[in-house]
Amino acid sequence: MKRKLFFPTFNKSHGVVLVIALVVGGISAQASGLLNSPTGGYLMCVNSKTSVVTHPGTSSCPKGSKKLVLGAHGAAGAIGLTGATGLSGRDGTDGKDGKTLWNGTSDPVSTWGAPGDMFINSVTKTLFGPKNIDGTWPAGVSMVGPKGEQGLTGLTGAQGPIGLTGLTGAQGPGGASGGSGPAGATGATGAAGANGTNATIAITELFVCDGPDLGTVADEKCKIGMTGPGGGHIFFVDYFDQYVGINYLEAAPQGWGNNILVNQGSLTGETTGSTTDDPRMKWCSDTTTLLGLNAWSNSGVGKGATNTSTATCTGGAIKAAVDYRGGSQADWFLPSIGEAMLMYTNLRQAGVGGFVGNGYWSSSEDGAYNAWYQFFGLGYQYNDGKDNTAYVRPVRAF
């Protein structure tokens, strides 16, 4: 159904009346479903010749008519120009000062700081604050915690081995003979005293060295460096009777290896020695077992003989020392590390005994695979593998 509205003329004023009429009349059109524009407005067709306005039921106008859309949204306009910058606002009021942490070498006084501040006495480690509003400081609080409980007492360390005996000092020159004084009057004969002992010697058994370097004094006793009964050199004298069963320690002579019983099994790297050198061999035939000779008690003076008798070796340094028969003596053994240190200090340092500047085995263990040796070059002690070879020098005690 089409409605026709006729207007004699179609100018601007009439167009306004037309729009108002169409808007008012659009209420009924909505009810009839005449919202036919793609943009949601009302499509009106105006005949260019007759100026007749029609409201078609379709979304297009007939040929020769112009479109007039009422109620549709127009395109967005261009963005307007940016306005001028406004005037700057007034500066705000300054805020309150923040709280401050002070420090010094004495307690704070009322003139220091502001309410809310804190203070540290760096000497007493005391903290004060926050400061009161009335200007006073509250009592300080110590920043040092309470003293902790005393820790447990540490274990007492094992006693170290006895130090080496120092070398005997050279004898000083004899003093000048004093002049003969006047003869005194003969005194009364005193009562006969009991038989006395020689108090100048502390060792329990006196022994006379019978080597080629024996002095001219009758019954001369053995001294360090002298030749002992086994043909070797004395390197220790128990002057203070400290060791049971030991008065002297004697080292085998240079070249002793030529006389050992060569029955060392198939251990590699062993030699029988020569007149100018000591033999080199492994520590023992068993190089992987702890023989229980690794304690401090097995390292000191007087322990070499016990160590040697405890170790059951069919070859190596310990067996070679046991087999030695120098001076027709059968009590030779491999020295403990403490005895080897004395041998180095009292013989090697004095240039006696023909020792090589290298490692010499001791009978003291360091574990299942290692044993201790004395280095005769620089004097230190070192633990080395039992299957490695080192020099050997037996000793004996008497």
In order, the DSSP letters of 311-352 are ---SSSHHHHHHH--GGG----BPPPHHHHHHHIIIIITTT-
Sequence ranges of the domains in the chain: 12-70, 251-397
Instruction: State the sign of the Cα–Cα–Cα–Cα dihedral 187, 193, 195, 200.
Output: negative
Nearest 10 degrees: Cα torsion 90, 93, 98, 104: 110
Region for residue 90 given its phi and psi (left: phi exceeds 0; alpha: psi -120 to 50; beta: otherwise): beta
Tokens, residue 219: 């019954």
Instruction: Report the candidate in 137, 138, 81, 141 with the shortest Cα–Cα distance to residue 114.
Output: 137
Residue carrying structure tokens 């010749």? 49
pTM (predicted TM-score): 0.48
Q: Give me the residue label for tokens 């590390």.
A: 337
Give the integer Cα–Cα distance in Å for 139 and 127. 9
- Please state the rounded mean pLDDT for residues 316-325: 93
Q: Is 15 helix (H, G, I), strand (E, B) or coil?
A: helix
Residue 281 has pLDDT above 80, yes or no: yes
CA-CA distances (angstroms) from residue 34 to 21, 23, 70, 74, 196?
Answer: 16, 13, 12, 20, 157
In this structure, the number of other CB atoms found within 10 A of the CB of residue 60 comes to 11
Q: Which of 85-99, 102-116, 200-214 tops mean pLDDT? A: 102-116
d(CA 345, CA 349): 5
Note the Cα 7 to chain centre separation in Å: 111
* 68-99 tens-digit pLDDT: 777 766 677 889 898 888 888 788 787 666 68
Mean pLDDT of 353-358: 94
pLDDT of 394 above 50: yes
Q: Which amino acid is at 313?
A: C
Cross-strand bridge partners of residue 372: 383
Residue 308 and residue 322: Cα distance in Å, rounded?
8
pLDDT tens per residue, range 7-28? 444 444 444 444 444 444 443 4
| 213, 172 contact by CB (below 8 A) | no
Tens of pLDDT, residue by residue over 177-192, are 555 556 555 555 444 4
Sign for the pseudo-dihedral over CA of 114, 120, 121, 124:
positive
